[in-house]
């Protein structure tokens, strides 16, 4: 063996035995005298450029960069953890937006990190296999696969092999992993159903005891002038609002029970509520009932039932009368004086337990048990002569006890169905007018009569707001531009069906009663502390619950209850449970893409870790650089040969400034051979010459 150049011994082809010996010689320190033992000084100088092989240092930048790449690849597994952790998390949060943005950026850089880590790992594996011995084709595939396009191109242009197919599958994980990073989570709608306690205006016995206590007992039958304004404000709502499911202030309106002939109940007894455009009188009142505790659910779907009551009228045909009363007048002749019912038994029967009701003698007296009658007197035009006169309608008043199903989406609530109450079993013949309601009738009458001491009493100012509503509920109750003293300005109550009049009149009565029982219902902005509204109860058992809560004695209901007078609350509130359906947009993991990313990260990380381990197990120099590889055993690159570096990185540093060229030289046989070498030793190529492969040295 020629000992003139130790690199040649390592790099030139030899037989199997020689190659095996060379494979183990580096462990014997090729530069030591124990291997070669030259005796002359000139012999030692021949090996002055020999290099001892060793394993790479961790501190070497290329090794450190590979470690960093492995850590970066493994870092993408954090996205997998985040995607699973974000399950059911609401969207729109700062943290969620930041994670989404990080995933978008991660999908962009994943392919770069993937390619850098995998290509280095494959080269490390190739070097190790070259050290142990491998097929040239396999070595070439491992060394020349640096991007997804490489193995796909090799499948077309190069011989097929299992390794090539495997490399193609591995590289396909690069775009899949990138897309997986982008699609780890998706947005979906989550439905959460739960119960929530709410309060609503109590129109039952306890709710009636409230206005009786503050108006009749504590104010001697007086009431604020603003109560009348509340009533008139309800009448002056726009036509569209009066026909709608909510009043001007967002309170849900309770419909009337439909006629038995107009609707068929479902198996649970529910009848459908008004749908589409309806007349205002299809609702029991022009004002709705306030609901406490819904303001926090501005986007949720809420459904609940409320137990309420309203008065209903059955009227006889109008008849002309001689009446000196001024304007519109509503009275209850057999109800007694204001705040002083003439029959306490009827009031007790209206309130129900625990207060005493009718005695046996009273129950046998038809005049006590039958419904009260309310008289409506109004100046009107006669249908025959159109002459001005007074008309009177006598109406029996009863109480309807109903349960209403309400559905809300955000702040929009609608009473969708209604049925007779299954919890309140009081008689329908007793109403608020047996207790304190005459005050409300007086208030309706006084809205047109004004102050009796005023100088303008007796002057004709046209029909009242109440009369205009009775005449036509679908328009704004305001006089037309006609002269107030003309017949055209008179409200012609005689001209329409008495049943229509009864429905409109009962709507007026319920609106007036509510103005007393819930004087500031329209205002909203109620205290959210539900305990302020009294003990939780249904309207049917409100008095029983309050008696136990406040430790009342079994006394008459006409003494007033100071415990009910609370400046913080404007009304008594019953309780119910609402079903809340919360639909929110949340993050949900895309487990398919999570699996793709996890698999991609696992494959690249394991290959990177394997390549890193094999790099430390490899001692052969890196001679596989496609450019630096041309400098080994090259007589036309003497500057690199004399330096003695075997590793391509070291050789590049030593010859970085050398000018090189791929050109031609002429050998002794006068053949022009293509060689790679220093520019000063090479002739340029031309098209007219036949060139041959350079012979090995």
Give the N- to C-terminal CA distance of the chain in Å, as an integer. Answer: 14
| Ramachandran region, residue 654 (left: φ > 0; alpha: ψ -120 to 50; beta: rest) | alpha
Least confident of 77-91, 286-300, 371-385, 580-594: 371-385
693 versus 416: the higher-pLDDT residue is 416
Split at pLDDT 50, 70, 90, the class of 37 is very low
| pLDDT average, residue stretch 480-508 | 74
pLDDT one-digit tens code per residue, 191-209: 899 999 999 999 999 888 8
The pLDDT score that the predictor gives to residue 555 is 61
Would you say 369 and 363 are in contact if contact means Cβ atoms under 8 Å apart? yes
pLDDT one-digit tens code per residue, 633-685: 788 887 765 566 777 777 887 788 888 889 888 876 667 888 888 888 888 88
The pLDDT score that the predictor gives to residue 14 is 40
Least confident of 100-104, 262-266, 406-410: 262-266
Residue 556 has pLDDT above 80, yes or no: no
C-alpha span between 1 and 588 (Å, rounded): 70
| pLDDT average, residue stretch 74-88 | 91
| pLDDT average, residue stretch 305-331 | 85
Q: Supply the mean pLDDT for the chain.
A: 80
C-alpha span between 522 and 520 (Å, rounded): 5
| pLDDT average, residue stretch 496-506 | 92
Q: Which residues 6+ apart lie within 8 Å of 358 measured at CB? A: 345, 346, 348, 349, 368, 369
Query: Domain spans of the chain?
Result: 208-584, 625-697
Would you say 302 and 408 are in contact if contact means Cβ atoms under 8 Å apart? yes
Split at pLDDT 50, 70, 90, the class of 34 is very low
| pLDDT average, residue stretch 115-143 | 89
Question: Of the candidates 349, 313, 351, which has an alpha carbon nearest to the alpha carbon of residue 208?
Answer: 351
Go through 353-387 and write b for each residue having 16 or more CB atoms within 10 A of its CB, e for each that does not. ebbbbbeeebeeeeebbebbbbbbbbbbbeeeeee
Q: Which residues 6+ apart lie within 8 Å of 508 measured at CB? A: 235, 444, 466, 469, 470
Residue 85 has pLDDT above 80, yes or no: yes
Split at pLDDT 50, 70, 90, the class of 467 is confident
Q: What is the DSSP string of 139-196?
A: HHHHHT--STHHHHHHHHHS---HHHHHHHHHHHHHHHHHHHHHTSEEEEEEEEEEEE
386 versus 577: the higher-pLDDT residue is 577
Split at pLDDT 50, 70, 90, the class of 59 is low
Residue 458 has pLDDT above 70, yes or no: no
pLDDT one-digit tens code per residue, 365-409: 888 889 999 999 887 655 444 455 778 899 999 999 999 999 999
How would you classify the pairing of strands 291-292 and 185-201? antiparallel
């Amino acid at each position: 063996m020629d000992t003139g150049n130790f690199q040649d011994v390592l790099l030139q082809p030899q037989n199997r035995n020689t190659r095996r010996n060379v494979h183990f010689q580096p462990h014997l320190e090729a530069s030591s005298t124990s291997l070669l033992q030259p005796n002359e000084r000139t012999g030692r100088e021949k090996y002055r450029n020999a290099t001892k092989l060793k394993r790479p240092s961790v501190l070497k930048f290329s090794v450190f960069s590979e470690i960093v790449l492995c850590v970066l690849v493994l870092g993408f597994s954090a996205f997998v953890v985040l995607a699973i952790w974000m399950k059911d998390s609401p969207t729109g949060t700062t943290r969620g937006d930041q994670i989404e943005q990080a995933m978008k950026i991660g999908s962009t850089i994943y392919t770069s990190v993937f390619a850098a880590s995998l290509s280095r790992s494959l080269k490390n594996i190739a070097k190790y296999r070259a050290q142990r011995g491998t097929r040239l084709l396999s070595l070439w595939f491992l060394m020349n696969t640096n991007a997804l396009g490489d193995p796909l191109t090799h499948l077309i242009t190069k011989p097929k092999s299992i390794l090539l197919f495997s490399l193609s599958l591995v590289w396909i994980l690069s775009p899949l992993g990138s897309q997986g990073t982008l699609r780890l989570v998706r947005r979906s709608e989550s439905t959460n159903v739960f119960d929530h306690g709410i309060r609503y205006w109590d129109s039952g016995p306890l709710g009636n005891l409230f206005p009786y206590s503050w108006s009749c007992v504590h104010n001697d039958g007086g009431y604020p002038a603003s109560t009348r304004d509340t009533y008139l404000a309800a009448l002056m709502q726009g036509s569209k609002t009066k026909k709608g499911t909510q009043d001007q202030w967002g309170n849900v309106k309770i419909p009337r029970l439909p006629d038995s002939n107009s609707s068929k109940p479902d198996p649970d007894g529910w009848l459908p509520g008004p749908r589409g455009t309806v007349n205002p009188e299809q609702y029991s009142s022009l004002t709705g009932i306030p609901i406490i505790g819904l303001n926090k659910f501005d986007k949720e779907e809420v459904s609940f039932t409320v137990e309420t009551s309203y008065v209903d009228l059955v009227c006889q045909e109008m008849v002309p009368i001689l009446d000196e009363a001024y304007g519109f007048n509503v009275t209850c002749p057999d109800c007694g004086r204001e705040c002083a019912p003439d029959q306490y038994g009827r009031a007790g029967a209206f309130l129900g337990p625990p207060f005493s009701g009718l005695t046996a003698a009273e129950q046998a007296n038809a005049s006590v048990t039958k419904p009260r009658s309310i008289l409506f007197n109004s100046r009107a035009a006669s249908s025959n002569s159109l002459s001005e006169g007074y008309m009177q309608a006598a109406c029996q008043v009863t109480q309807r006890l109903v349960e209403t199903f309400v559905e809300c989406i955000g702040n929009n609530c609608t009473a969708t169905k209604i049925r007779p109450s299954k919890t309140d079993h009081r008689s329908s013949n007793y109403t608020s007018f047996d207790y304190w309601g005459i005050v409300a009738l007086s208030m309706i009458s006084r809205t047109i009569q004004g102050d009796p001491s005023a100088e303008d009493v007796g002057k004709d100012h046209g029909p009242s707001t109440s009369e205009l509503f009775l005449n036509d509920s679908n328009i704004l109750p305001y006089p037309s531009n006609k002269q107030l003293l003309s017949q055209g300005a008179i409200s012609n109550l005689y001209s329409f069906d008495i049943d229509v009049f009864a429905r409109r009149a009962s709507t007026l009565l319920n609106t007036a009663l509510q103005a007393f029982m819930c004087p500031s219902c329209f205002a909203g902005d109620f205290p959210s502390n539900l305990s302020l509204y009294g003990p939780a109860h249904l309207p049917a058992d409100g008095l029983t619950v309050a008696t136990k809560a406040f430790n009342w004695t079994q006394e008459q209901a006409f003494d007033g209850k100071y415990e009910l007078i609370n400046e913080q609350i404007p009304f008594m509130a019953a309780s119910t449970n609402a079903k809340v359906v919360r639909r929110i947009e949340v993050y949900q993991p895309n487990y398919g893409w999570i699996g793709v990313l996890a698999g991609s990260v696992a494959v690249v990380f394991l290959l990177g870790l394997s390549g890193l381990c094999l790099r430390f197990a490899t001692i052969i120099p890196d001679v596989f650089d496609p450019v630096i590889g041309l400098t080994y055993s090259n007589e036309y690159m003497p500057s690199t040969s004399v330096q003695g570096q075997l590793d391509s990185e070291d050789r590049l540093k030593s010859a970085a400034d050398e000018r090189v060229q791929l050109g031609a030289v002429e050998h002794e046989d006068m053949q022009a051979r293509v060689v790679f070498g220093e520019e000063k030793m090479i002739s340029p190529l031309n098209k007219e010459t036949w060139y041959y492969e350079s012979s090995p040295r």
